[in-house]
Amino acid sequence: MRLVSNVMLWVFALLLGLIALFITILYIRGAFRWRALLHVENAIAPQDDRFPQVIEGLSKSLSTQGQIVDFWDSAQDIQQARIDAINSAKTSIQFETFIMTPGQRAQAFAAAMARQAAEGVSVQILVDSFGTRQMPSKYWHRLRSAGVQVIFYNPFDWRAPINFAGRTHRKLLIIDSQKVLVGGAGMSDLWDGEEKADDTKPWLDIEIAMTGKVVQIMSASFQKHWEGHRMDDDAVTGIDMQKIFPAKENDDFPWEEASHGNETVPILVTPGTNPGYRDSSIETLKQTLIVCARRRIWLSSPYFLPNKSARQLLISAKQAGIDVRILTTSVKSDKKPVYYASYEVYGPLLEAGIQIFEYQPSMIHAKMMIVDDEWVNTGSANFDYRSFLHNDELDISVKAPYLVQKVEQVFKRGFSQSKQIGLKQWQHRSWLKHRLLGNVVRLVQWQL
């Protein structure tokens, strides 16, 4: 009996020690510090000519221009578009992503990349070390044997363990320094709805192809992320400026005027690099876009965890008569604890009259925002703490009627296939899953 008591005492002491250690880590990381809410006076309307310059300065975005040459809004089309783009490359390919898992998509990707590298195309692949942890070493060996350069972003380092929380969450494909594909989809069969029992249909996601000056901005962002990593032979990767802006060899090289039938439009590129609690470009961008809206804010995020500042901005927008709608995932989420935490924050938004739609057919992974009829914001960043405070993200904001129309169609289709959550339904949510588990996740999620 005494032995059992001693064991229980040691277990209890160990548990208390772990809790104390966890609280200490949160304290060291600043989890309990005060954060100011975003406050903007005399907000400039999205229709104002000054709008892009103001957003650029506040969010540390890069102002450029380009042409929207293609748009895809299905998982199958996005995968095929990427393979087609890779197969079209003549000189160089740069690819960056967060998640890759074993399966048909990854195999098709590797086959295309290896084939191009064997043909003499310069191929650089930058993948997150955590997001690709399921991929076997033989997969990377196959690519490297074909001449592909592969770098893992931010592998665990015992000398700086807390830094392992930082991830690259970007999804970027650059072809021949002339064309760039940007979106939110990973290289995983998850997007085909084949790896989760409650999610058997393709995920909803989008991807955009662009040409023009914006490609050089994207290339520079990739090269900066590429720089400073150790390779297998102990060499250190460096920036290749020739891949950012190759020499113009003939009059047909499409730097400024090649529109491919589409007009040149203003584009803001927001590389959310190494964010901090007072210096998050992505958080500032998204919240400032909300502040400036005059007519509508349609927002989509698979992981919808707005902080107190963002919630208040959305509520204020609704109170000002703006059409505020949220499109997010249902319980079919691939991260169910995060879904329960998200559900917990619905209450004040629903009380303010904001419409919240949970997509039913499958997981929704598209990150989209329409501000009035003027601007579309999309890219890799979710509307949550991790994207705001930890991840390296890459978002674009585009003023293009064509893109507004395309994204609006995706939203409308999403709304029509969703279940709108009502206030009474929210009030009768589960005590165990939503109130208990959801609030525990809310407590720690912005530090995970």
**Per-residue pLDDT at 191 exceeds 50:** yes
- As a whole number of angstroms, the distance between CA 357 and CA 359 comes to 6
pLDDT at 342: 93
pLDDT in tens, 224-271: 999 988 877 678 889 989 888 887 654 444 444 444 446 899 999 999
Least-confidence region, from 93-97, 146-150, 242-246, 264-268: 242-246
**Could you tell me which of 351, 343, 352, 309 has the C-alpha nearest to residue 419?**
343
Report pLDDT digits (tens) over 38-65: 888 899 999 999 999 999 999 999 999 9
Look at the pTM and tell me if it is higher than 0.75. yes
User: Worst-scoring range by mean pLDDT, 164-173, 246-255, 419-428?
Assistant: 246-255
| Residue length of the chain | 448
Q: What is the pLDDT of residue 202?
A: 93
Asked whether residue 296 carries a pLDDT value surpassing 80, the answer given is yes
pLDDT value of residue 242: 87
Q: Is the pLDDT of residue 106 over 70?
A: yes
Confidence of residue 32 (pLDDT cuts 50, 70, 90): low
User: Are the C-beta atoms of residues 324 and 295 closer than 8 Å to each other?
Assistant: no
Average pLDDT over residues 105-121: 97
pLDDT exceeds cutoff 70 at 159 = yes
> Confidence band (pLDDT; 50, 70, 90) for 367?
very high
> Is it the case that residue 1 has pLDDT exceeding 70?
no
pLDDT in tens, 385-411: 889 988 999 999 999 999 999 999 999
Lowest mean pLDDT among 18-22, 48-52, 182-186: 18-22
Domains contained in the chain, CATH given: 35-58+264-447 (3.30.870.10), 67-157+164-244 (3.30.870.10)
Tens digits of per-residue pLDDT, 213-224?
Answer: 999 999 999 999
**Average pLDDT of 199-212?**
93
Give per-residue pLDDT as tens, 309-360.
999 999 999 999 999 999 999 999 988 999 999 999 999 999 999 999 999 9
Mean pLDDT, all residues of the chain: 90
